[in-house]
Each structure stands twice: as C-alpha cells, then as structure tokens.
C-alpha cells in the first residue's frame, strides 16, 4: 500500500546516500584513477541489487530483456555520465559538483521537447532557462578569475558533460520503461558499466591501499542501497511529491564538504543553487497543478469561471 511519508523518507535516504557515495569517491580520487572508481562503484552495487531482486522474488522475471541494444546504449551513456561526474569530483569541491549536477534535469526538459516531441509550455521553458542561469552563476567565479585554474576548468567541463549525458540517459530510460523491467534496467546498467570500466585498465589502474579500498567498496555498496531506496520511494509516493527533495542534496553536500574536505561554500554557489532550486520547484508545482486540473477535467469536475 502506498505511503507518502515512507516515500519521502526513502527519497531523503537515497539523496543522503548518493552524496555520501560521492564523498567517498572524492576522498579516493587523489590516488585512484576515474575508470577504476567507476568499476568499484558499479561492481559492488550489483550484489546489493541482486539481493533486492531476490527479496522481491523477481529473479526469474525482473532480469528478462526485450532489447539488448537498448540496455547496452543505456550502459554506455550512463557509464560516460558517471565517469565524467567522478572525474569532476576529483577537481572541484563537493558542493559545486552537486550544484552543477542540477543542470541535468533542466537539460532533460529541453531534450524531451527536441527528441521526444513533448510539449513544453512557456512557463516551463522560462523556468528551465532561469535554472540554467543559476548554473551559470555557480560556474561564473570558477571561470572568470584572472588566472583560471586549468584543473578547475576541466572540472566544470567534465561536470557539464556529465549533466548532458545524464539528461540523455533520462530520455532513453523514458523509452525503455515502456518495455523493460525496472530491475533489469538497474542491474544491467551496473553490469555494463563494470565491463566498460575494465577498458580503462591500460590507462593506469593502481593497487589501492586498505583505506582507499574501503572507500571504493563502500561507494559501490552505498550506491546500490541508494538506488534501491530511490526506486522504492517512487513506489510509495508520486513523483511530484518526491522530486523537490532532490534539492536536499545541496545541504548534505555543503555539510560533508565543510566537515570532511574543509570546503567553504561561496556566495556565488549559494545564490546559483537557490536560483536553480527555485526554478526546479516552480516546474514541479506548475506541472502538478496542471495534472490536477487535467484529472478534474476528465472527471467532469473542472471549476467554473
């Protein structure tokens, strides 16, 4: 039986766990190459996902595939998004990476209109443009100082590439869910990303020490649990109800960034994040209101005047 409060709790748990996972990757990024972090994140998520599928008694049906090519494409693009994101974590403060990641959902709206032909109303597109302005505000001080740090520049580029690929993945998944099982989409993504990450071995993998190994294994296990919490959350609460809680990630990122990495949030980052969050919440509330209005119209309950 759906339980909105449980859905919110699970969504918040997934938000916190994903930020913790990112912090673990960032902590290991100085010693471990990006491709290797993708491997550990993907490989050690699979046992968690398999246990979840077994617990739901979906092993026989949940992993069936109707389009191998669709899963492979999802894996390639998703692994690329993950790799760019992890590379950015090694170059930028955790709060900035989190704030820039908000560009992904905004770009999804644009890509949905272009690639899927979805109708995007003026209000929604205006809110998307406002959100992208917020992303620019976050990036501005990183790119306009007199002596731009090349590592910072690459971090911003990697993060924007990750946002673009994440948006494309969301569009692709919208198509996949019509024929593919959720469990299969989640599991085969981790499997594909694991195999693809092995291609980076010639570019210099290292033997991680005990501390880095614990960080890497922990990132995979926590990432798997976070994915399950996210999926389960949407079983108990509507997307419009749960979506705004995504933005709690910036609070968690600021706290962890300050305590663990001594990252002090800048005014630009806070202002830009606020603009992006405002635009995202505006879109969610507007679409929810339109959905309610449409439902009432179908039920013959449209208010007069």
Per-residue pLDDT at 158: 96
Question: How far, CA to CA in Å, does 52 sit from each of 46, 49, 114, 122, 227?
Answer: 10, 5, 36, 41, 10
pLDDT in tens, 10-50: 989 999 999 999 999 999 999 999 999 999 999 999 999 99
C-alpha to C-alpha distance for 226 and 213, rounded to whole angstroms = 20
- Cα-Cα end-to-end distance for the chain: 37
Per-residue pLDDT at 303: 43
C-alpha to C-alpha distance for 157 and 91, rounded to whole angstroms = 11
Q: Measuring CA to CA, which residue among 211, 209, 99, 71 is closest to residue 160?
A: 99
C-alpha to C-alpha distance for 40 and 283, rounded to whole angstroms = 35
Per-residue pLDDT at 302: 41
C-alpha to C-alpha distance for 3 and 234, rounded to whole angstroms = 10
Per-residue pLDDT at 217: 97
Per-residue pLDDT at 145: 60
Please state, rounded to an integer, the average pLDDT across all residues of the chain.
Answer: 87
pTM: 0.88
Find the length of the chain: 305
Instruction: List, for the chain, all residue ranges whose pLDDT scores fall below the cut of 70.
Output: 1-2, 144-148, 239-240, 288, 290-305
Per-residue pLDDT at 220: 96
C-alpha to C-alpha distance for 41 and 221, rounded to whole angstroms = 8
Cβ atoms of 206 and 33 closer than 8 Å: yes
SS3 string, the chain, reads CCCHHHHHHHHHHHHHHHHHHHHHHHHHCCCCCHHHHHHHHHHCCHHHHHHHHHHCCCHHHHCCCCCHHHHHHHHHHHHHHHHHHHHHHCCCCHHHHHHHHCHHHHHHHHHHHHHCCCCCCHHHHHHHHHHHHHHHHHHHHHHCCCCCCHHHHHHHHHHHHHHHHHHHHHHHHHHHCCCCCHHHHHHHHHHHHHHHHHHHHHHCCCCCCHHHHHHHHHHHHHHHHHHHHHHHHHHHCCHHHHHHHHHHHHHHHHHHHHHHHCCCCCHHHHHHHHHHHHHHHHHHHHHHHHHHHHHHHHCCCCCCC
pLDDT in tens, 226-266: 989 988 887 777 766 777 788 889 999 999 999 999 988 88
């Amino acid at each position: 039986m759906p339980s909105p409060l449980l859905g919110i709790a699970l969504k918040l748990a997934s938000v916190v766990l994903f930020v913790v996972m990112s912090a673990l990757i960032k902590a290991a990024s100085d010693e471990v190459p990006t491709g290797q972090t993708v491997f550990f994140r993907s490989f050690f998520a699979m046992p968690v996902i398999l246990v979840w599928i077994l617990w739901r008694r979906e092993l026989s049906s949940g992993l069936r595939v109707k389009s191998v090519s669709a899963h492979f494409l999802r894996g390639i693009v998703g692994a690329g998004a993950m790799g760019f994101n992890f590379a950015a974590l090694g170059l930028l403060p955790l709060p900035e990476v989190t704030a820039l990641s908000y560009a992904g959902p905004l770009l999804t709206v644009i890509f949905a209109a272009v690639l899927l032909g979805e109708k995007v109303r003026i209000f929604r597109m205006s809110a998307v443009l406002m959100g992208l302005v917020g992303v620019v505000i976050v990036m501005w001080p990183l790119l306009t100082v007199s002596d731009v740090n090349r590592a910072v520049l690459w971090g911003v580029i990697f993060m924007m590439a990750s946002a673009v690929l994440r948006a494309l993945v969301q569009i692709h998944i919208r198509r996949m869910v019509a024929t593919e099982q959720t469990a299969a989409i989640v599991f085969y993504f981790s499997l594909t990303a694991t195999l693809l990450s092995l291609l980076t071995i010639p570019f210099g993998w290292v033997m991680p020490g005990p501390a880095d190994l614990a960080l890497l294994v922990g990132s995979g296990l926590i990432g798997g649990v976070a994915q399950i919490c996210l999926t389960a959350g949407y079983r108990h609460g509507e997307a419009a109800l749960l979506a705004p809680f995504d933005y709690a990630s910036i609070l968690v990122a600021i706290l962890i960034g300050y305590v663990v990495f001594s990252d002090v949030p800048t005014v630009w980052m806070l202002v830009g994040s606020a603009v992006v969050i405002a635009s995202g919440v505006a879109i969610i509330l507007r679409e929810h209101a339109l959905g309610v209005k449409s439902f009432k119209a179908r039920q013959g309950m449209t208010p007069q005047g």
